Structure formats: structure tokens, C-alpha cells
Structure 1
Amino acid sequence: MDRRSFLKKTTLGGGAAAAATLAAPAYAQGNRTLTMVTTWGRGLAGVFDAAQRCADSITAMSGGSLTVEVKAAGELVGAFEVFDAVTSGQADMYHGADYYFVGQHPGYAFFTSVPFGMTAQELANWYYHGNGAALHDELGEIFGLKSFLGGNTGAQAGGWFAKEINGPDDFNGLKFRMPGLGGKALGKLGASVQNLPGSEVYQALASGAIDGTEWIGPWADEKAGFQEITKFYYTAGFHEPGAGLSLATNREVFDSLSAEHQKIIEIAAAEAHQWNLAQFLNNNGAALQRLQSAGVKTLAFPDTVWDAFGEASMAVHEENMSDDLYKKIFDDYQPSLKASSAWIEKSEGVYRRQRDRVLG
């Protein structure tokens, strides 16, 4: 489906019209400045760092001939408005989690994370050496975007709860913050699912507007202060086993750049993806120890809950299979996941179990 026919069927038609009057990016003495909007509040641990890393790397590698000005959520547009801002030309690029935009197209979930989906390494394998990047690009063409992976949180925690979860029925009526297809799966278990920007989650949890939340993992969650509100923390979740972040540029803007500047954006995004993953993984272990020392009870969902997560997740996928592009992405994604997982389990998986056994 081409972009024009798709947009006629969506609420983005107004954005498409605005794109026709796309303002040229700012120039100063031959240099070019691009405005980046983000889904992240300024200073949010890890995720805002990834956006700033992309911007700083682009500026540095271009010798200042291409400068990126970063606007945190709310400084130019709201966190969930960045997609439309870039497709319409109000901003030049965004950094965010693409699963926030499943309302524009459900296929965007695959480029952050889908429930029971890929780990960070499996996602990188598919994206950089399979068809992931090409499918991201095909999806972006519909909306006038050129997108790249630009960060990764690694495996995300199952979340913070006001009480322990003993079975699937405990989700019935639970007010819980979870975006993307994972949130839709929780909804099938009876949860009242909220999709809140990261900067609003603490207040919602503290006020009782929500009963629980997932955010990222020990380091970012500790920085957010959720341990001040509740002590029940599930450290493994089904919803985001390796959440990718995206850097997306308005395609008309991207196409107007020199080949050198285009390559700089691509490389800056890829470098931020690896750098950000290492940042999260490096900080999570020590943060988890601090949380436990502060009285946080780390828990695991029982198998009955995992089974319910799985059934609900597959139902969500099935509901989206009528969309041809979603199905195309899913049918490419799953074989890559299984192939990568099979090798990692037989190599690194065996090694890690033996290492833990030998070293105690």
C-alpha cells in the first residue's frame, strides 16, 4: 500500500497535508540544524541518554556541519505527539519507543518489542543481518519516515505491584501501566491498562491512579523512585525481553541530506543502540542489589501467570494478522527469533549454566 492511500484511511491525513509545506531545516553559515523531539522527559535515565547520544554523535561526526537540537517531551510537543510532529514536518526527527505508535500501525511494535519476542541480541541479529531494517524502512515509507534502531534497554522487568501476583485472576481490574502489545495482552486478562509517558508514571503510582507499573529495569526504576511507593518487584516480564528504541527522521528531510550526513545518522543510531544496551546492563546489577538492601522484595510470576501471558499474547498477534504488513513482519520475525535462540541456547546458554555451576 502506498503512503497516500494509507493516510486517507487514518487520522494522519492532516499530517500528510502539513508535510507538503514542510519547512526547511535551519541553516547558519552553511551548517544545518535538525530538531529532534523525544518521547522522553529530560534526564530520564538511559532512554533520554540514548537520544542525547544520537544527537551528540551526529554533531561530532559531522564536525558541526549537521547539528541536532534535542527537545525533551513537552518542550515542543508531548511525548506521544512526536510521531505526528515528524511526519507532518513540525520537527525533523524523533527518538522514542516505536511501540508507542501501534495506533498508527501495529507493525511498529516489532521495532521496540512484542510480548514473547526477541531479546536484545536476537533483535540485533534480525535487524542488522536479517530483514528487520528493510521492514522498518518499508513501514516508515508509509508515513514518510526513515528509521533506525537507536537504543536498547535490554530485558525489562515485570514491574511494580501493590500486592503479590499469585495467579492470572489477580490482573482482573488491576490498573496497570504498560504500553504496546504487551499492554493489550494484559487487557485480555482483565487489567485496566494505562499508556502513560515515563515522566508521568511516578505520580500516577504514588497517587493510586494506577495499581502497578512496568518501566524498564532496576537502574532506571530506582532512578524513577518506584521503591519509595511499593516493595513488590517482579524482575522478569513477558512484554519486553529486549526493547529497541528508534531514531526516525522525516524522509523528505533525510533525502535532502548529503550521502555523508545520511551515513552519519545511520552510524550514530547504531552506535547508540549498542552503547545504550551496555549502559543498562552495566548498571542494572548494582541497582538491583541496592533495591534489595532497601527492602524491595524481588519476585517471579508463577507458571500459571506465564501461561496466561502466553495465551493472551498469541491472541493479540492473531488479531493483527489481517493487516498484510503486520503479517509479513511477523512471518519474517519468528523464524529469525527461533534460529538465533536455538544457537544461543546451545552455545552461550550451556556455557553460562556450566560457568555458574563451576564457579558457584
Structure 2
Amino acid sequence: MERRLFVRGAGLAGVLAAGTAPAIVHAQANLRWRLTSSFPKALDTLFGVNDIFAAKVKELTGGKFVITTHAPGELVPAFGVVDAIQAGTVEMANTAPYYFFGKDETFALGCAIPFGLNSRQMTAWAYEGNGLKLMRDFYRQYNIINFPMGNTGAQMGGWFRKPIASLADFKGLKFRVGGFAGKVVERIGGVPQNIPGGEIYQALEKGTIDAAEWVGPYDDQKLGFYKVAQNYAYPGWWEGGPQLDLYVNTKAYDGLSAEYKAVIECAAAYAHTDMQAKYDGKNAAALKTLVAGGAKLFPFPKDLMDAAFKESMALYSDISAKNPNWKKVYEDYSKFRAEQNLWFRFTEATFDDFMQRQKL
């Protein structure tokens, strides 16, 4: 087969599989980009997704496209990544979009909202629904093109000095909670605190906050929260499937060849899958270790869950009335959520419920 026809028909994935990629990538320019993260290097899952991505890009380009990865403070602060990408200070960033709800609440829909999509549904909305298209339309005003790159799966509900037996126990509680969820925490009587991951332990230890959530057992164990607050709540109703994004400066991205653009897309998708596989694989053992070390598990009480759900739906209605960006995306998101929950009700949820009641 003529080589040009083969390359055109097979696409990047096909030529890589056939072992013919070097002739393509060697024609591309040598590039060196920087990727800044909102997460500390100590978290080998949240920060590590960037190293996985960078390594895959280097591999797929024969070492010609090199991306260096940077922790918060090396180039920009943890919560400064959107401004840095928008201004072109760095070419790439990886973050939890809901951190930037203060700029526009619509950022949160690209990550997680209370009682939103789970991780599989979030990926489905991005790739099979309208999620990726809608969020890219929104991000264009910030000079950003985004790629899904990481998901933790459903999270735990955090570490508390005292267990929460009712909604009343939550009133006045200073609770470190990520981003947008703080709006609902506030509406049910809590006092949300938006603190970067690397600063949570110290705040909890000193009593500056009463409780804190992060991700789940594997990362929570690394951060040591169980040493200062042993009551471990579940579930993290505000993060049923939080998606991290790779942000790329639009001008930098537009300057890439078609092949390098395809490499970024493929490497981000690879890293996206890798992150959740790591969390699903490591959280179970970490939870056992935490419980053996004295962590006391407790579910959020029903009255708290009911109040949080009610206030979440009211909040989304309020935002829709005043923010056209949010309204456009949320209308599609909420319709997709309803359809997915109907489907999961008959399959995933029923199967999971049965299996979790078995003694295996």
C-alpha cells in the first residue's frame, strides 16, 4: 500500500500500532513545554497524572516533545493556574476546575457539583454527550482548550473531630471543602474553607478548622488527617465523580502540528484512565489500614443528605436565573444526569448493591 494513503487512512493510532510513526514525528519540531499542577508532588496520584501524561507524550513523539511538570509554587500558585494559562505564562496546567467557580460557576460543571455525575457518567457526558463541546465553548473566553485528564471516582466525606449524628451537628462547623461545594455547605449551616491540599493538615491540627475533606483513603493516609481527626465520614456527596482537566493555552495549541495535537489528546486520555485505575486499586487497602489504625467510619445522617440535596437543586436554579453560561451547560448536564441515573438504576446500582451484600 502506498505510504501516504496508509497514513491518511489509519490515523495516528494506526501508524503507531504499525510501527511507522518515527517518519512522521521526526518531521516535527523539537518542543519543550511546561505543565503546572494545582497539587503537591507528595500526592503521587493527583500530581503523578502529569508525569504519566508527559512521559506518554515523549514516548509518542520519539523524545521530540518534552513537557516538564511543576508543583504549586514552582511557577505559579496552586490556584493561579487559570490566570497563567490565560496569559500564556505557561503552556499547560492540570487542575480541578471547580476551584475557579469564583470566576464563573460554570467551571464547576467541568469537574464536580454536589449530587452530580459519577465518574463513568462524567466521562460519558464528555465524550458521548455534549460535555466536551459545551465546556470548550465556555473555556474559549479564557484562552483555554481542555482535555479530560483524571478522575478520582466517588470520594469520602472527610475527617471530623466529632461524628455528625444530625444536620444540627453540622451547623457552624468550619469545614475545609473544595471549591464550589462550599456554596451548599454554607446553605446547610456549615462554614466552608477553601484551603490548598498542602495546607490542610496544619489547619486541622491547629484547630483553625473543625473538619476537612480531600479525596479518599489513599491520599488521606498520605496527608495524615487520621492523626488529628479520627471520625471518617462517607460519602462525599459533593464529589461523585470529580474530573480533572488538562488546560492548554489556545494560542500554543493552535501552533501545534496536527500530529502533536493528536498526541496530546491520546496522552491525556491515557492518563485519564490511569488515574482512576490507581485510585480504585489502592483505596481499598488504604481504608483497611486507616480503620486498623483507629479511624472510625460513619455515614452522613439522612437529614443532612436530604437538606444538602434540596439546597443543591435550589442553588442550581438560582444560578441558572442569573448566569447564562451556567444555564446553557447545566441544562444539558442535568438532562444527561437524569437519563444516566435511570439507566444505572437497572444495571450498575442493582448489581453493585447485590455484590456488596455478599460475603466473598
User: What is the deviation of 1:30?
Assistant: 4.0
Q: 1:341 matched to which residue of 2?
A: 341
Question: Displacement of 1:43 after TM fit?
Answer: 2.4
Who is 1:84 aligned against? 83
Quote the Cα distance in structure 2 between the aligned partners of 1:356 and 1:305: 24
Q: Specify whether residues 357 and 172 from structure 1 end up closer, same or farther in structure 2 by C-alpha distance, changes over 3 A only.
A: closer
> AA paired with 2:87?
S
Kept in 1: contact 2:152–2:275 (CA 8 A): yes
Determine helix, strand or coil for the equivalent of 1:241: coil
**How far apart, in 1, do the equivalents of 2:289 and 2:165 lie?**
25
Distance 1:186 1:356, change over 3 A: closer
The 2-side partners of 1:59 and 1:282 are apart by 26
Q: State the secondary structure of the residue aligned to 2:31.
A: strand
Which residue of the partner structure matches residue 350 of structure 2?
350
Q: CA deviation at 1:316?
A: 2.2
Structure 2's unaligned 5+ residue stretches are 1-27
Structure 1 equivalent of residue 241 of structure 2: 242
Q: Which residue is equivalent to 2:192?
A: 193
8 Å Cα contact 2:151-2:276 kept in structure 1: yes
Structure with max Cα Rg: 2
Give the SS at the match of 2:145. Answer: strand
Question: Which whole-Å deviations, capped at 9, do the CAs of 1:114-158 have from their partners, x for residues lacking one?
Answer: 000010011011111000110121111111101011000100111
Structure 1 unmatched ranges of 5 or more? 1-28
Work out whether residues 187 and 311 of structure 2, in 8 Å CA contact, stay in contact via their aligned partners in 1.
yes
Q: CA offsets per residue over residues 15-72 of structure 1, 9 Å max, x none?
A: xxxxxxxxxxxxxx94111111110112214110112212221222122221111110
Report how far residue 312 of structure 1 moved: 2.0
Partner-residue secondary structure (3-state), 2:337: helix
Say whether 1:292 aligns with 2:281: no
TM-score of the pair, normalised by structure 1 = 0.89
Distance 2:107 2:357 in 1: 40
Residue 64 of structure 1 aligns to which amino acid in structure 2?
G
Partner residue in 2 for 1:15: none
Equivalent residue, structure 2, for 1:136:
135
Query: Do the aligned partners of 2:167 and 2:301 also contact (CA within 8 Å) in 1?
Result: no
| Cα drift, residue 338 of structure 1 | 1.7
> Secondary structure of the residue that 2:68 maps to in structure 1?
strand
How far is 1:323 from its partner?
Answer: 1.1
Mean Cα deviation higher: 49-58 or 31-40: 49-58
Would you say the 8 A contact 2:99–2:180 is kept in 1?
Answer: no
Deviation >6 Å, runs of 4+: none
Q: CA deviation at 1:255?
A: 0.3
* Shift of residue 357, structure 1, vs aligned partner: 5.1
Residue 351 of structure 1, CA deviation:
2.5
- Cα distance, 1:359 vs structure 2: 5.2
Other structure's SS at 2:347 match: helix
- Match in the other structure for 1:96: 95
Q: How does 1:205-224 map to 2 (within 5 A)?
A: 205-224=204-223
* Cα displacement string for residues 272-324 of structure 1 (whole angstroms, at most 9, x for unaligned residues): 11110111111111111111101110000111010111122123212311211
Match of 1:9 in 2: none
Pairs aligned (count): 332
1:309 aligns with 2:303: no
Which residue pairs with 1:326 in the alignment?
Answer: 326
**SS of the residue aligned with 2:34?**
strand
1:358 Cα deviation from its structure 2 partner:
5.8
Q: Which amino acid aligns with 2:337?
A: L
How far is 1:345 from its partner?
A: 2.1
> How far apart, in 2, do the equivalents of 1:315 and 1:197 lie?
28
| Structure 2 residue 275 is matched with structure 1 residue 264 | no
- Show CA shifts across 1:235-282 (max 9, x none): 212100011001010000000001111111111111111110111111
Alignment CA distance shift 1:190-1:358 (3 Å)? closer
Paired with 1:85 and 1:270, the residues of 2 have a C-alpha distance of 23
Map 1:15-54 → 2, pairs under 5 A: 30-54=29-53
RMSD value, Cα: 1.5
Q: 1:174-232, CA deviations, whole angstroms, 9 ceiling, x for partnerless residues?
A: 11111222111001122221111111111111111111111000111011111111110
The residue that corresponds to 1:20 in the other structure is: none
